[in-house]
Each structure stands twice: as structure tokens, then as C-alpha cells.
Structure 1
């Protein structure tokens, strides 16, 4: 039994109880706590996810939660399931609509733009605690830059598995994003303002083929990444190409990032670099994508190419965004020493002395007397 299948069995046992129960001790602002009533636990390609109510019969969720499934289950507050139809769409990002007949009356959340100084909260299904829950708040780090329609909101509001497709709300309870991914203090959401374009591109028979292709790519990409999670497993040419193509066609930058990591570990650094570069072209503020690209350049021993990305990370991150990521600091010291940017290396060393002094002595010794540079991989 795969880890994914084992998790599915466990989560489906717990999911009905987690569907709509609310934590009466919610200590967040009342509008945020009230938003829980518009969020549902769902089960689709992902064994557990979340969805947000937009109208009497319509929900929105993350595309990766449903993949190519035509129907999914939506769980009500009493644990009873309803069948939801996935609305066909050619929207190229990680969003999809659901139509659900028989939903009882309840509140809806209206999409709203995010304010730069907002305090943000994730609202989603917590299977472990068996309830729809509000998680610890965080601030907005980056909003999508102009001209980048698929760029995401980068924020510090905590989320965890099962929250995908849930609501990112501000302190007024306004829906500013749909939860997409997160980890290591770096969380992402799709701007709620994208729901208008999603709606325009959904529901027509003309988008049936495109919808099936995107959903199928999500399934294939996810399955391949699960199969090759073990870094020691050999990756044949055909398998590597299948990962590259399916993850690119999924329209999901997180899957593309994971594909880049998988290909990079397998020594296919040029294909990995191409995926990360595509991700940054889509979303220049994607910290995880930029870290993945810097790591892959390092694996390829192309230290000069890594330098501008490491400099960006030192310039634009810190505090609760990457928490002075030790990997970034060490990469900057090594790439700076071997790639000819001693100033960058010294900046990283100074920060390392502040946040992790026990490892700074070895890093300083490396910088003062670096070993011969490894040759660049061809």
C-alpha cells in the first residue's frame, strides 16, 4: 500500500466527523470565526481537502484536490456527504468550481482584494481535530506583481495538509485567497480575485478537452512524483520526460517545483532548471521556486548562475518568511566563494553568525580558505 493510499484510508475514516464541526473556543476576530460556516471538508483525488461556498449551490476549491475527477464528496456539518459535480474549465491555474445540489442554507464568502497590511487567517478542514478550523494568523509577504495573472499571494498564515482549497480571509472575514500550498513558514494562496476569470472560463462544453487534459496532468504528475519520492530510485529518460511534461501541463507551480526537485536529485539538472525558470517567470516572488532553482544550480556546480537568486533571497526574505533559512545562507557562502561574489558570501556569513553561531565557524573557515572549486557539470 502506498503512503498516499494509506493516508487516504485513515483520512476517510476521520473525515465525516471533521466535515463541519466548529471549534467553539475560536479566539480569532468574530468575522474570521464566522467564516468557518462557509468552508466544507471535501474528498476527491486528494483524500481530504477544503472548499469555500460562493453561492447557494457553488463552491470553489483547488484543482489539485480534484484532479480529473468529475464528482467529489462534500461533507456537511453533521458528517453526511453530498455529491458535488466538478465544473469543466480551461482556467490554467490551480482553481476549479463545484456545483452541489442540496446544500442547506448558510453563509457565503465573497471574493475581495487583499490589503497590504492585512492580518490573514487560513480556514480549512483539520482532520486531526475533526473540525473546520481557523489557524494561526500571519501577514502578507508578497502580492502578485502587475502582469502576472497566475502569481500567488505569499503569506505567513499557517496552513497544513487538508486545507488545500480552503479560505484565506482577512480580519474582516473577507475572502482574499484560496489556499494552495505551504510549508516551512512559506504559504501560498491563489488571489480570490481570480475566481471571476475562473467563472468566465468554466461550464462550457467547449472547454471539456482542456479541462480533462489539465485534470489528467495533475493526476499523472502527482502519481509520478509519489512513485519517485525515493531519491535513490533510478529515473529513466521516458519517466523523466513524463514528469516534466505532466507537471508543466498541470498548471500548478507547486507540482512543477516538486518535479524540479525530483529531476534535480536524479541528476537531470537542466530539465529541473527549466521548470524552476518557468515558475519564476509566472511568479517572480515565489520563494520556494527560487530556492529550488538556487539549489539546482548548485547541484550543477553553476555557482555564477545561482548568485542573483541567492542575492534576491537575502534581500527579500527573513523574519517569518524564511526565518533566515540556513540552507540559503550556506549556499550563498559557497556560491559567493566559488562564483566570485565575496560580498554576498560575507553578508550570508554575518547573518549566519546571528542566527546559528554554532555553524558559523566552519563556514567562516570555508570562506577564508575555500577548497578547489568543483568543475561545472556539462
Structure 2
């Protein structure tokens, strides 16, 4: 008996798909330790590629010299701040723990300047005097457990910072390779995108690159400017650990929280210690630094790509919460590419006609 030949060999297709899936999982398993570093390097290289080309032109067209310069810049911008932060935490952890374990060593100020505050100054001064009337020991006894927990938590984060330093090293290594072979890698990615989605796939890759540059210019560069200016204010006013606080401000600005969570406690500390002049100077300087993002971010984002501001900010915040630091770039890229693809798909259909009387049209349809 002759059986009809099936149009599709189902077992063969099933085994082929299973084999491809297993190979994909195997490849993912092998490269999993390097995914974060390579993704980070890809974002950095895409964002700084125009700068690499300019440096290459200045260095007589030598790509190798331009790569050396860009590598040094990456070391200064990424590896050096993280190293300083780790070493500062380690160096200052022992004095912090010793200070927290000996509350009698803390001398609380009288804060006599509170009496000059209009309307509520005398009440605040009286409340503060009644609080410290028994010395620093009763007050520190209440807050000492929280200080100890905070110090223990801070020490526990050193391991995470060490892991971040390792990923920074991988990022530098992959960035060097991508700088040297960037054109070939870019053409290969575009070729793969064309194979998947024809011209629309190629446009999506180019849009992703524009979104990465927009985030790098609008978010990261703004955070660098705010952190540097805030750090200058901390250093001039004599705030201790200004370097650590500057790095902390940079991270908070990246997370869209701004520099005020660092600058406000610094101002309080200056007023606490009785240095009202520098406290007022830091207050004015903090107002200037905190409002810079409203001016710089829209300008930088428009320089990188013509993307909606709300879309980029939602991508930054959502990506940060979902993927961590690398999500700062992944989130806006995903939202921007998806938004452009949906918008292009909608444009394939004619727009609806303007309706002056929608109720009348509904009655005609029924």
C-alpha cells in the first residue's frame, strides 16, 4: 500500500527546532558571564563612536592611537571612580564603626543660630536644648542600633562594588575590541536585522543607536555635569569625604533622583557645626546645581535623537528598576524602537476622517 507523502516532514522540523533551541541555550550558558560587560561596552561604544572618529581625525587617521585615547578616557570615567569609592568605603569603615560604638565621644552643638529663625526659631531652639540636656549618650543610645545596621549594610555593599569593578574591566576590554572593529560589527548587526525585518529591521537598528546616544547625552552627561559641580561645592565648603559623596551624587543623578539627597544633608551638617556662612553658600550653589537638569537634559537629548522626552525618561526609570545600571540604556532603546515600529505600522493605514457629529455617524452605521 502506498501512503501519501506528507507535505511537511513534521518530525524533522520538530528535531530541527529542538536542536536549534538547545544550541541557543548552550551558547547563552557559555557567554552568560560576559553578557553584562559586553552589553555595557556596546552601549558605551555606540554612544562615544562620534567622539572616536573625531579623535581619529586629530591623530592623523590612526585608529590605534584613537583607541588608546578612548580607553584612557573610559578608565578615568568608569574604573577610577569605582576604585576610589571602594577604597574610600574600606578606609573609612573602621572609624565609622568605632564612632558608632562610642557615643560619649560625640559632642552635640548648641545650634544657637536657631533662635534667629523667624517665627519658629525659639521653639526649635527650646526643643533642641531639651533633647540634648542629658548629653549625647541618651540620644546616641536611641540611634546607635540604626547606625550599626547602616554601617554593616555599607560594608556589605563592598562586595557588590567589587563585582561592578570586575564588570567595568570586562567593559573596557570589549570596548577596545569594538572600537577596533566597530564598522564590521555594525554592518553585521545591520545585515542580521535586514535578514529579520528587511528595511524596517535596518531602520530599527539605526533608531536603537540614536536612542542610546540620546540617553548618553541627555542623562549621563547631565549627571556628570551635576555631580562635578556638586562635588566642587562640597570640596570648597569643606565637607569631608567629598569624593565619595560626588560619586554618590552621580549615581543618584543617573537614577533621576538628583543631587539634593547628598547636598541637603551636607548643608544640614554645616549649619549643625555652626558654619552658617558656608552653609548658606552651599544652599545657593545647590539650588543652581539641582535646576541644571531641567535646562541641560532636553538640549542634550535633542542633540542625540528626536525622541519624546517622556518616552526617554520612562525608559530610563523603568530600565533602571528592571535591569539595574545597564537598564538606563536598555529601557529607552526598547521603548523608542517599539514606539517607532508601532507608529510606522499605524502609518500604513490611512488616517480617520474628521467627524463633526459622531452621534449622527453612529446612527447611520446602525
Could you say which TM-score interval applies, normalised by the shorter chain?
under 0.3
User: Quick one: higher RCO (CA 8 Å, sep 6+), 1 or 2?
Assistant: 2
TM-score normalised by L of structure 1: 0.20
TM-score normalised by L of structure 2: 0.21
Q: Which has the larger share of strand?
A: 1
Larger radius of gyration between Structure 1 and Structure 2: 2
